[in-house]
Structure 1
Amino acid sequence: MIARNVLANLIGMAISIGVQAGLAFGGYRLAGAEQYGLIGFFTVMLIAAAIFDNGLGQTVTRAVARNQVEAPATTSTLVFSFALIYLALACLLILAVWAAAPLLAAYWLKPQHISTAEVRECLVLMGFAIGIQRVRGIFQATLEGLERQVLSNLLLSASGLLRLTLGLGALALVAPTAEAFFWGQVIASVCESVTFACVVGRVVPGALRPQRPEGGLIWQSLRFAGVNMAAAATGTLVQIADSLVVSAVLPLAVFGKYSLVSTMCSAMVRLTAPLITASFPRMAAYVRAERVAELRRLFFTASQATFALMLTAAGALVFFGEAFLELVSGDPAASADFAPVLAALAIAYALSGLCRPSHALQMAEGDPATALRINLVTGALYLPAILLLTPRFGVMLPALCLTGANLLAFVLFTATAFRGRLRGEALRWLRSSVLPQAAAVAATYAALRLLSEPTLPLAARLAIAVAASGVALGAAALVSNHVRPPLLQASRRILSRPRPRPDSASATLS
């Protein structure tokens, strides 16, 4: 089941990244840098609102997964009770954005050709789109806890394609403005949340029927959820603080370019979602059943696959970032200027993604407090630095500071992840799941980068980059002792599958 869920998550992730790339590529080209700055600010707010999924959503997934072991009959009550919490938080989010919109439009963002009234209206629409979309989180978390991830990814892919169609369609057919884009996102959010609710209502009968909330079930998860949401909030603040500071101190057009680069890099972290989403419910079940050997094998496998994907993606943007940025923006001069920023952010986001397996292990063991402490430490060092230095040194400084903060977070997550059921496995994990993958990917990109001269046409440089990414991913998989065997077995099955002989039909007729 895990393999099937990973495959479903990979397909869903590929479609999701395609949608994100399409929105970034089309949005920037159709709306221009300044209008895209508002769309980029919407992306930042979406990431901030994702603490529902990273905090409360993980709590729901863990609770539903544990319920399948202990008391499956209470799942409908659990889902209904958490749905009420989600609805209340979504309403609070919408009201908070509506109340803050005049201040943000007048004092935070720095538009040059967009009126304050238009910015305010866009911010209000952002709040509605984000709040409505967050309601989906309770239903998505329920499907993930039930390990119905094929169904979840099918719904996410369909809603993502709808979001892409409505967003770019509004820009192309209605008006090339952020306001038109956000109206499309509001409609997409309504369709998405209603569809997820209807599906969960069928999968978990009675989950949407009005009933008395079960206080005992909620109370059992309340402390875990509170600490987890606090950890998610501090971690998210560290990840988006650079965008918040750039949007506040630099012109909106500059922030639009920085947001485009940041969006390209944040898509990398989503590469971890298929593996972590599929592995986390099973990790929680293994912890509950004290099946340490299976837990260790699953954690090592998820780590090796995560590192192979993340390092490959980061290497592509570090070594070939200027070519990818030129493809997306269509502006060679801006691509050359922002290529160093893209490289620094690629490393920063890769380090963030590399923390995910260790964080998932801590969450499965019921320890969200460690992530909270780590985020507080990194935030205490990182936030003052970018607040004080960004106005003086520009957009490169936040990218470098984020890289340092995420490097510290990776060290701390690694140092604390092996204090529980996998105590004593840290060095073996580093030797098998970190160092071989890093060496294989770095050597591959360094060798193939020599073939890509700046004078080559863009298409040729992109072709070399894609080829290098494929070779690097293959090399990383081959040096991963937990990932390599199943891949080789699958390859053998495909190659040894019997093929029908061309003359079999004629022989039968004769």
Structure 2
Amino acid sequence: MPDPKRLSVLRNTGLNYLGQAYALLVGIVILPFYLSHLGAEAYGLIGFFAVLQAWLQLLDAGLSPSLVRQIAHYRGQAEDFAELTEPGRLLRSFEIIFVPIALLTWASIHAASGWIAEHWLQAHELSGATLAQCISLMGVLVGLRLYATLYKSGLQGLELHGWLNGANMLIATLRYFGGLFLVAFVTQDPRDFFVFQVAVALIETLLMASRAYALMPNPHLFTGFDWSVVRPVLPFAAGMTLTSVLWIVLTQLDKVLLSKVLLLKEYGYYSLVALIATGLLTLTNPLVQTLLPRMTMLTAEGRIADMRALYLNASRFVCSVLFPMAAVIAFHSRELIFAWTGDAQAAAWSEPILAWYVLGSAILAVGAFQFYLQYAFGELRLHIWFSVISTVISIPLVVWAVLQHGALGAALAWFGLRLITFVIWPPLVHRRFVPGLHGIWLKDLVRITAMTVLGLLVGEPLFDAIASDERIDILLGLASSGLICLVLVAASSRPLVLKLYVLITKPSL
């Protein structure tokens, strides 16, 4: 294994973006074919699985993110990581904790599958038996991905991003292209589709497990639970668990309620909206996977100035990329959905909803940086209180918006809550952890927002000139408009990439 103290965050972030961009691009290309081959109801079932999986991440109990931080912390304090046995013993202990959780999860979902099929999902084309069997398979998928996420977390803590992203690209190829081949040439039965996804999830879990134990100092095969390595992690894990519960409620409650309110066909269209909105959040994942362990290491080494500079420049970079993308998508929601899927009905249904969701998601992605700052210090008390208060306010508002106004109400509530949070929360966190930084951060935010709006105004005539009834022309027009926004944002800033390179390539002590 390469010397972890000389790993470059810039290189790791690049590798992460390569892997994530591949998975995202493959999904964007393949998913419309799923819609056409399986139908809107079956596609809505896939969207329901995404929501179910998000909620059942709560079963992780904060252990996976705690594993990332703890291994990074071990690396930051130990002169020779290879001599430590704690990382492997911690991983083994978490594996044992997950055994009853995974089994009970599958049993519970299997037992409830009939009720969900008959009384929750509103399907007209798919039978109740088909829905129930698919939901039962979802329980198996959740259990396997619970373990896969645990092993991935260990590898992220080791900053082994090159191998990890290569493996993720392999799994994405199997999952999407294999699934497309299945539904296009073999069968359109959604049960067979989910059986195939279970097989891919099993391969992923075994692959990640074998690599994690090959690289971490590990115990013997029959080594059991070790309380001595778990106990120090529990306070942080407990905080992560609570914040995870609140995060899931804040970001997934609308999706659960809409799965009951909407027809399954309409929920298929809504799943397209949710996929694009979630895709914006996903774009930050590669940077975050690199940023969290490095910020944690810098904090453990006492290099607070370097950590602060890294945080600020990473936040600037995310704003510079996400704001132009979100603005173009919001301004041309109908055109984007039609160019992507070729489905005029889906485009018309999504138009008034997508804009508010993508704008809210962009704000949420940037606002998450305040959590990353607290994560690096290992102090989550402020974040917990904020999450509790936000949840108490959000739940009744979201329930009312969905039940009274459907998908559009959910979209408006999503945007409004994210915007209010973004105005109130960052200055409080910055004042507590990095005094004097908020003014610089806010100045950059205003600059990026202004340049994005200017880019939209300048790019609109070009979009009108390029776009036509042809889907490829619409995509070219959207790309041109987005490029103008990105260029104006980049031209208004200092050489951010160069500054990031200088900060990131400084070796740890």
Which residue matches 1:440? Answer: 451
Contact 1:301 1:482 in 2 (8 A): no
Tell me which residue corresponds to 2:505.
Answer: none
Aligned match of 1:83:
95
Partners of 1:28 and 1:36 within 8 A in 2: yes
Residue-by-residue CA offset, 1:37-83 (whole Å, 9 max, x unaligned): 10110111222234467933221110000011234302221222222
Deviations 1:325-375 (A, max 9, x none): 002332224313311211111112111211222111111111233333333
Q: 1:459 Cα shift?
A: 2.3
Code of the aligned partner of 1:36? Y
Contact 2:76–2:301 (8 Å) recurs in 1: no
Partner of 2:191: 179
Between stretches 45-54 and 12-21, larger displacement belongs to 45-54
Deviation, structure 1 residue 3: 0.6
Contact 2:339 2:472 in 1 (8 A): no
> Are residues 1:25 and 2:25 paired?
no
The aligned runs of 1:145-184 (5 Å cut-off) are 145-184=157-196
Give the deviation of 1:208 after TM superposition: 6.8
Provide the rounded CA distance (Å) in 2 between the counterparts of 1:169 and 1:393: 39
Moved over 4 A (4+): 51-54, 486-489
**1:75-474 pair list within 5 angstroms:** 75-206=87-218, 209-432=221-444, 434-453=445-464, 457-474=470-487
CA contact (8 A) 1:300 1:482 kept: no
**Equivalent AA in structure 2 for residue 463 of structure 1:** L
Shifted more, 396-405 versus 351-360: the winner is 351-360
CA distance in 2, matches of 1:10, 1:302: 14
| Contact 2:320/2:489 (<8 A) preserved | yes
Give me the TM-score of the superposition, normalised by structure 2: 0.90
Question: Is the CA contact (8 Å cut-off) linking 1:379 and 1:405 kept in structure 2?
Answer: no
Deviates more, 1:442-451 or 1:44-53: 44-53
Q: What percentage of residue pairs aligned between the two structures are identical?
A: 24
Distance in 2, Cα, partners of 1:156 & 1:362: 28
Distance 1:441 1:92, change over 3 A: farther
Which ranges of structure 1 fall in alignment gaps of 5 or more residues? 490-510
Task: Say if 1:79 and 1:207, in contact at 8 Å, map to a contact too.
Answer: no
Task: Specify the alignment match of 2:52 in structure 1.
Answer: 45
Alignment of 1:474-489 (within 5 A): 474-481=487-494, 483-486=496-499
Mapped to 2, the partners of 1:49 and 1:419 lie a distance apart of 34
Measured in 2, the distance between the counterparts of 1:424 and 1:37 equals 47
Q: SS of the counterpart of 2:283?
A: helix
CA contact (8 A) 1:200 1:207 kept: no
Residue pair 1:24, 1:263 contacting (<8 A) in 2 also? no
On the 8 A contact 1:304/1:480 being kept in 2, the answer is no
Deviation at residue 23 of structure 1 after TM alignment: 4.5
Task: Report if aligned partners of 2:16, 2:165 keep a CA contact under 8 Å in 1.
Answer: yes
Shift of 1:388: 2.7
Equivalent pairs, count: 488
Shift of 1:207: 5.3
Task: Give the superposition deviation at 1:117.
Answer: 1.4
Q: Distance in 1 between matches of 2:30 and 2:392?
A: 33
Partners of 2:269 and 2:349 in 1: how far apart? 10
| Matched letter for residue 161 of structure 2 | Q
1:463–1:363: structure 2 CA closer, same or farther, 3 Å change rule?
same
How has the CA–CA distance of structure 1 residues 12 and 127 changed in structure 2, closer, same or farther, with 3 Å as cutoff? same
**One-letter code of the match for 2:42?**
Q
- Describe the superposition over 1:171-204 as per-residue Cα deviations: whole angstroms up to 9, x where unpaired: 2233223222211110010000000111112111
Counterparts of 1:194 and 1:470 in 2: how far apart (Å)? Answer: 41
| Counterpart AA for 1:476 | V
Per-residue CA deviation, residues 227-252 of structure 1 (Å, 9 max, x unaligned), is 21221121122211121111101211
**Structure 1 residue 146: deviation in Å?**
1.0
Query: What is the Cα-based RMSD across aligned positions, in Å?
Result: 2.2
Asked whether the 8 Å contact 2:77–2:301 carries over to 1, the reply is no
CA contact (8 A) 1:174 1:180 kept: no
State the AA in 1 paired with 2:10: A
The one-letter code matched in structure 2 to 1:466 is A
Contact 1:62 1:145 in 2 (8 A): yes
> How far apart are the structure 1 equivalents of 2:434 and 2:73?
20
Q: Sort the Cα spacing of 1:51 and 1:413 in 2 relative to 1 into closer, same or farther, 3 A.
A: farther
1:288-325 C-alpha deviation (Å, 9 max, x unpaired):
22211101110011101111222122122112222220
How far residue 137 of structure 1 moved from its aligned partner, in angstroms, is 1.1
TM-score when normalising by structure 1: 0.90
Question: Against the structure 1 CA distance between its residues 12 and 308, is the aligned structure 2 distance closer, same or farther, given a 3 Å change threshold?
Answer: same
Task: Return the offset for 1:389.
Answer: 3.5
Mapped contact 1:292–1:422 kept (Cα < 8 A): no
Counterpart secondary structure, 2:332 = helix
CA contact (8 A) 2:87 2:218 kept: no
Q: Which amino acid aligns with 1:343?
A: A
Q: Is the contact made by 2:87 and 2:217 (CA closer than 8 Å) also made in structure 1? A: no
Cα distance per residue 1:444-470 (max 9 Å; x no partner): 122212333375543222102112222
- Say whether the 8 Å CA contact 1:359–1:413 is kept in structure 2: no
Aligned partners of 1:436 and 1:479 also within 8 Å:
yes
Q: Which of 64, 75, 79 matches 1:68?
A: 75
Q: 1:372 to 1:105 in 2, by over 3 A?
A: farther
Q: Of the two structures, which has the highest relative contact order with CA contacts closer than 8 Å and spacing of 6 or more?
A: 2
